[in-house]
Amino acid sequence: MISKISLQKLALILLVSVLFLTCRQEKETPQLTDNVRRIDGPYVFYEGTDTKVVGVNSSNQITKTDYSGELNVIVPEQMPEQFSLKLMNSIENPSSQYKKSDNIFVVSDIEGNYYSFAKLLIGNGITDAKLNWAFGDGDLVLVGDFVDRGEFVTQVLWLVYKLEMEAKEHGGQVHMIIGNHEAMLLEGDWRYTRLKYRELANALGIDIRELYGVSTELGRWLRSKNMIEKIGDILFVHGGISNTLLDKQLNLDEINRIAQENYGADLDNNNLEIANLLFGRYGPLWYRGLVKSYKDYYPKVNSEDIDRILSYYQAKNIVIGHCVVNDISTDFNGKVVRVDVEHPVTSDDKMESRALLIKDGGFYRMDDQGNKTKLN
């Protein structure tokens, strides 16, 4: 028969054991489940005066270190497999308009596809084989949707971030234009993301939107970006300009300012008419009418609509992504240039990546080997 004192001792032993195990678990590095692709990040978080770098290593463990002046980005089983960069000294909002450029390379809708993005950049001399800027004073225009769906979203964003700094050092420019998927990411709408990103947020004990929150470097950087830009007499926007938006008579600076003020905001429960328009079905992120009719909401625009858009913004062409087309192509006698195409994810895919080159006033379809075909 067990005495009362023995029971008390047993209970005490069990309590100490539980506390001991709990303490051990808190000190151990969290490990992600096996359905998460190894190696992710880095994610840079600002905690008071500290800058913390969080990532997932090759052992599938979460790491957390202090920023040491350089970030190393690893992309497993890709070429090149890694690159390094330093954080920007400050993040500034880009201009809405830029002077004419005789060398513009345009890519759209990469969606975390590091394989095709790197291959396009290297194959067309935008970077060297180690992904260092090699485009001189040229302009690299990224027309939205570089996040979601793919396995290497974080790495793709850091590559753009790195090239942005390097381009400026050589008199060039990287134009990262926000698409609907970047906006969704900042809003916390992660329907199209890989499971590994959700698993990481859960393991860190944070809401998934905090991976790109206002206390992170990538979150701050993305929130500085424009929704629409103009280089010379060419407009660049992810989705397009609708008649509904055009009727508001907003200039480019106004569109971008309102967008930047509302990235990540709850736009379902407010009375912000213009902000809701910009982020809604008829806004620059989601509008599809320059390419096709969309369900019962609106028909495809006509030539008069295109002329009205270009006239108001004093432009000759508008370059868009968002709607997948069979190849880099034009419409409305070359006034609309469509650049959202399917990209291969691995070398086993039987397709080639495509991009747009605007050089000395000519428009060219480029493949990932640098081969050039003039558009009609």
Nearest by Cα to 283 from 183, 363, 214: 183
Q: Is residue 261 part of a domain?
A: yes
For position 225, which CATH number holds? 3.60.21.10
Nearest by Cα to 204 from 18, 47, 20, 19: 47
Rg (CA), the chain: 24
Other C-beta atoms within 10 Å of 208: how many?
19
Read off the pLDDT of residues 238-255 as tens digits, 9 standing for 90 and up. 999 999 999 999 999 999
Report pLDDT for 2.
Answer: 46
Q: Is residue 69 part of a domain?
A: no
Q: Is residue 31 part of a domain?
A: no
If one counts the domains in the chain, the total is: 1
3-state SS, one letter per residue, for 323-351 = CCCCCCEEECCCCEEECCCCCCCCCCCCC
Q: Is residue 83 part of a domain?
A: no
Parent domain of 119: 97-374
Task: Let me know: does 80 contact 131? Beta carbons within 8 Å.
Answer: yes
Question: Which residue intervals of 210-368 are DSSP H helices?
Answer: 217-223, 243-246, 252-262, 273-278, 303-312
Which amino acid is it at 191?
A: R
Q: Is residue 84 part of a domain?
A: no
Q: Is residue 38 part of a domain?
A: no
Nearest by Cα to 218 from 276, 173, 263: 263
Task: Let me know: does 279 contact 285? Beta carbons within 8 Å.
Answer: yes
Report pLDDT for 280.
Answer: 96
Question: Which residue intervals of the chain are DSSP H helices?
Answer: 4-27, 114-123, 153-169, 180-187, 195-204, 217-223, 243-246, 252-262, 273-278, 303-312
Read off the pLDDT of residues 24-53 as tens digits, 9 standing for 90 and up. 333 344 555 555 556 899 999 999 999 999
- Can you tell me which residue has the tokens 């096996």? 34
CA atoms within 13 A on the CB side of 46: 12
Q: What are phi and psi of 278, to 5 degrees?
A: -60, -35
One pLDDT digit (tens) per residue for the chain, 376 residues: 445 445 455 444 444 443 333 333 333 445 555 555 568 999 999 999 999 999 999 888 999 999 999 999 999 999 999 999 999 999 999 999 999 999 999 999 999 999 999 999 999 999 999 999 999 999 999 999 999 999 999 999 999 999 999 999 999 999 999 999 999 999 999 999 999 999 999 999 999 999 999 999 999 999 999 999 999 999 999 999 999 999 999 999 999 999 999 999 988 777 789 999 999 999 999 999 999 999 999 999 999 999 999 999 999 999 999 999 999 999 999 999 999 999 999 999 989 999 999 999 999 999 999 999 999 7
Report pLDDT for 35.
Answer: 53
Q: Is residue 106 part of a domain?
A: yes
Q: Is residue 9 part of a domain?
A: no
Determine if the pTM surpasses 0.75.
yes
Nearest by Cα to 247 from 273, 269, 228, 268: 273
Interatomic CA distance for residues 267 and 31, integer angstroms:
36
